[in-house]
Structure 1
C-alpha cells in the first residue's frame, strides 16, 4: 500500500529557555542559565519546516505545551494565585520552577513511539505517549502529548493513541528517540528497532556508570505489545553503555535510519555484529536488504559526533531513490565531521545530499534536527483523516511567523521565569494558536 512519511516538528514555545535540567545531555548542561531567544528559536524551527515542505517532504507540526506547569507547582505545595505560586517557587525552589518552565516538549522525538498501520496487528497507526519519567521536567509532558496526538489523530478507524506506560523506573520510556523503523517502503511491512539502555530486571546486564540509561528493555517490549507488532519483525538492541557515559543520552544521538538504510557510529551498540545480524535477518523477512552505513571512530570520534550532532539528523527519501541528510550547521564546524560528510556524498553513498539548517537555539539546549521531529508514516487515507490544520503550508508558515512576531520575546533570562507577566503572555499566545491551528480546547 502507498504511504508517505510525515515529520511532525515541535513548534518552539514562547518560554524557550536554557535551564540545563537534563543530566547526561552535554549541550544542555553547557548552556545552563544563559539567556535564550524564544523568537529566534521558533523562527529557526519554522524555517526548517517551511523549507522541507517546499521540497515536497511531508511536514507538519505539534503545538507547544502550556507553560509554566502550574499543576506541578501546586502538586508539591505551592499555593495561592498564579503570581503567588510563581513568587514562592522562585524563592524556595528555583530549580523546580525551571522544571515547570521546561522548553523540552519542543523535541517531539520524545513525545511518543509510532508504529504505522503496515506493522500493527489491527491495521491502524499506533502511538504511545512516552512517560519520560527519568527527568522531573519531562515527566508531566505525556498527558498533553497524548491530548495533542488524540486531537490530531482522532479518527479511531485509522489511529490508536495509547496513554503512557506506568511511570516507574522499570518502564522508563523516551519515545521515538530510541526507536527506528526500517523497511523496503513506507507502506509495506517493516522492522521496528527498539534501542534500550538498561534492563530493569537483570542486575547482571551492562549499564552506564556516569549518566543514566533512559530507556529500558521492558518499556520497549511493552510498547511493541501495545502496538500489536509481529515478533519476527521486532528487534531489541542494547545501546553501548560506554557511549551513554560520553553524552549519548538517546540512540538518535548516535544512529539514524530510514527505509533500509542505517547510518550509525561504530560504537553505537553494545554488540554491533549481533545488532546488524538481527536487523539483516528481520529485514530479509520483509524483502529488504540492510544498507548499513558505518562511521568509524577513527574518522569521527564519539565526542565529535556529540558536539556536532551528526547522527541527530534526518534521513529523508527522495524521488530519485537517494536520500538527503538534514544536519545542523555545527556539522560543518567540527573538522572531522565536515571531512567525513564530504567524502560520504562524494563516494556514491545512498546519501547524496546534505541539507543544512541553523538550529542554534535548539542545539544549545541539547536538541538537533532529529530531536525536533516525530516521524509518522501514513497512507493516503490516514493522511486525509488526520487534522489538516497542523500540516505545514506556505500560508500556515506566514500565519505562524506573524503569530511568533506578535507574542514572543527576543530575550529571556533565567530571572524572567518568576515574572507573572511571562505566564500571562504564554497563555494568551497559546490560546490564539489553538484557534489558528483549528484545535480549540487544546489547552483547556
Structure 2
C-alpha cells in the first residue's frame, strides 16, 4: 500500500524566549537570558514547511501550547487573577516563570513516539506522548500534546493513542528524538530502533557531565505498547561521551530515512557493533553514512547540528538533506555534505540549507521541529477530513498573515511578566484553532 512520511512541524509559540532552561543543551545555555524574536522564529519555521511542501514532501503543522502556563502556576500555590499570578511569580520565582513561559513545544520531535501501521501487529498507527520528566519546562507539555494528537489523529479505525508513561525518571521518555526507523520504503514493514541514554535498573556506563534523558525501561515499554512485530525492535545505547558533549538526544548525532543512517561515529559506544545489529535486524541493504572525528569533530557536529538535518525522500526515491545554515558556514560540515552528494554509492543527491537561527540559538535544528508520521492514503485522508493541519498554499498564506498580526518582534526573559503577553497569546491561539479546524483545544477556550 502507498504510504507517505508526513512531517508535522510545531509552530513556534508567541512566548519564544531564551530562558536557558535545558540542562545539557549547550546552545540553550549560551543564549540564556538574551532577547529573542518570536515573529522571526515562527516565520523561519513556516518557511521551512513551505519549502518542503513545494518539493512535494507532505507537510503538516501542529499548534503551540498556551503560555505562560498559568494553570501550572496555580497548582504550585499562586493565587489571584491571571495578571496577579504572573507578577507574583516574576517577583518571587522568575526561573519558574521562564519555565512556564517556554515555547519548547515547538520541538515536536519530543512530542511522542510514533509507530506506523506497517510495523504493528494490529495494523494501526500507535502514538505514545512523551512524559519529558527530565526538564521542568517540558514536563508540563504532555497533557496538551496528548489532546492535540488525539484531535488530529482521531479516527479509531486507524489510530491508537497511549497515555504518557508514568512521569518519573525510571520511565523517562523524550519521544521520537530517540527513535529511528529503517525500512525498504515507507509503506513496508520496518525495524524500529529505540536509543536510550541510561537504565534505571541495569548497570551500564553513564555520562559524567550532563544527565542522560531517555531510559531503556521507557523504550522497552513503548515497544510493548505499540505491539511492534516480533523481532522488529532494536535497543541501542547512546554514547555517554556524546551526551556529555551536548548530544542530549540521539537526533543531535543521527538521522535515518528508509535504508539510510546518517550519523557521527561518536553517537554510539561501538559504532561497528551498532551497524552490525542494524544490518542483521533489517535483512535488506542499509547505507551507513558515518562521519569520523577526522571529518567533523564531535564538538563541531553538536555546534552546527549537522546530524539534526532532515533526511528526506524526493520524487523518484532520491534523497536530500535539509541542513541548518550553520552547516553551510562550517568548513568541515559543508565539505562533508558535499562529499556525500558526490558519492554515487548512496541515494542522497541534494543538500539544501535552511535558516532556523532563532530555533538553533535555543538548541533545536530542522529535525527537532518535526514529528515524522508515516501514513497510508486512507490514514492521511482521515486526518484531512478531521482538521486543516495538512499544509497547502492557502494554509501557508493564512499562517503567515496570522504570525505577522500577532507575534512580537522582540522578547526578553524580563518581558514575561507583562500580562498583555498572555492576552496576546490567547487571542492568537483562539484564532489559530479556527484556522486549523481544531475546535476548542485549550482550557481558556472552554467555559
TM-score category, normalised to shorter length: over 0.9
Alignment of 1:27-426 (within 5 A): 27-202=27-202, 204-284=203-283, 288-348=284-344, 349-386=346-383, 387-426=386-425
Q: Name the SS for the 2:77 alignment partner.
A: coil
CA shift, 1:413, in A, is 1.3
Q: For 2:315 and 2:99, how far apart are their aligned partners in 1?
A: 43
After superposition, give the CA deviation of every residue in 1:283-340 in whole Å (9 maximum; x if it has no partner): 01xxx21111111111111001011100001110122332100111000111111111
- 2:55, 2:314 within 8 Å by CA — same for their partners in 1? no
Shift of residue 388, structure 1, vs aligned partner: 4.1
Give yes or no for contact 2:194–2:219 (8 Å, CA) kept in 1.
yes
Structure 1 unaligned blocks of 5 or more: none
Give the distance between the partners of 2:387 and 2:84, measured in 1 at CA.
Answer: 39
Q: 1:273 Cα deviation (Å)?
A: 2.0
Q: Residues 145-194 of structure 1: CA distance to partner in whole angstroms, max 9, x if unpaired? A: 11000000000110011111000111000000000111001111000000
Cα contact 1:126–1:227 (8 A) shared by 2:
yes
Structure 1 contact 10–105 (Cα < 8 Å) conserved: yes
SS state at 2:18 partner: coil
For 1:241 and 1:354, how far apart are their aligned partners in 2? 30
Query: Following the alignment from structure 1 to structure 2, what is the Cα–Cα distance between the partners of residues 8 and 381?
Result: 17
Comparing 47-56 with 345-354, greater Cα deviation is found at 345-354
Whether contact under 8 Å (1:238, 1:271) holds in the other structure is: no
Aligned mates of 1:80, 1:231 — CA distance in 2: 54
Q: Please say if residues 262 and 289 of structure 2, whose CA atoms lie closer than 8 Å, have aligned partners that are also in contact.
A: yes
TM-score computed with the length of structure 2 as normaliser? 0.97
Q: Secondary structure at the match of 1:212?
A: coil
1:230 CA drift (Å)? 2.2
CA–CA separation in structure 2 for the residues paired with 1:116 and 1:371? 19
SS in 1 for 2:176: helix
User: How far 1:2 sits from its partner (Å)?
Assistant: 1.3
